[in-house]
Amino acid sequence: MPDRFSGVVPALAVPFRGHEIDLDLLGAHLDRLLKAGVDGLFVVSTTGLGHAMGIRSKLELVKYVSENKGSAFAIVNVASIEFEEIRELVKASERHGADAVASNVMYYFRIDEEGALRFFRKVASLTELPFFVYNIPQNTGYNVEPRLVRRLGGELRNLTGIKDSSANILQVADLATIEGLAVFNGADELALPALVAGARGYVSALANVFPELFVELYRAYAEGDYGRALKLYRSVLSIAVDLKAMPLNLSVYGALSAVYGREFGLIEVFRPLREEEAKRIAKTLEGRSR
């Protein structure tokens, strides 16, 4: 799978210390992901608390990751309900050397197909960088259907791909039939089925915690070792069942706190882990380390 945009792309988790990004811990986390062999980074992501960050933190994150991403590509999610903030993030992505930008639809406000089309046109027109649609209907309240993506493909010169987090394998398969579109699956539990359906890779929350597992799974599939890919996928599925039984950001950040032996801090509006959740995370990590 030689395409520029393909492979394993963690939805980059970002540690906070109070109101500030913990750059020391973020650097250690980036180093771990890159050493594991991830192909790209999805920056200002849902897992990375992007929609809860202020613009100053977003700009700091874009600069830091773009300057420390090694050979991995960086896709920056510029989504916001403030269009001037989108414009600022796009320009920062260009200035610091990000490889692409992405956006979900306008959220909070209700939107229809024509509204989504207009919004994506406007965001994509701000840059010559490759543009990715980010579809996460469970959070935005709107599902970007393949029909709309086809319409966009006929209009936008820089439409390059889509991160589809709908967890709808039929939709992923339909998107994968669109010529020239790099489809990334955003649902960890569909990691292998999405590749079989034609996705070029996955943008994964759990790859923050288990990067080697997700890289090994992708490589096994790419090399045609389907038996091994299936075995590894069963491990992914087991982890996803365990950790997605609680709010995903809590499980990912709780697990990363255990991995690094220090608090991988959430923005303080999130509740702390419950005791039973911490025990579940510890059990999952222990089971994977055997």
CA 180 from chain center: how many Å? Answer: 20
Query: What's the rounded Cα separation, in Å, for the pair 262 and 184?
Result: 31
17, β-bridge pairs:
20
Pairing of β 40-43 and β 131-135: unpaired
Q: Tell the residue number behind the tokens 């990715």, with chain if given.
A: 132
The residues near 227 (Cβ < 8 Å, ≥ 6 apart) are none
CA–CA separation, 118 and 54 (whole Å): 25
Give me 96's structure tokens.
């610091």
DSSP tag of 206: G
Query: Known catalytic residues?
Result: 134, 163
Query: CB-based contacts of 185: which residues, under 8 Å, 6+ apart?
Result: 164, 165, 172, 191, 194, 195, 199, 201, 202, 203
DSSP string, 1-22: ---SS-EEEEB----EETTEE-
- Dist. CA 233–CA 209, nearest whole Å: 15
Tokens 């050397």 correspond to 97
* E strand map for 136-251: 159-164, 182-185, 201-204
Q: What are phi and psi of 131, to 5 degrees?
A: -120, 135
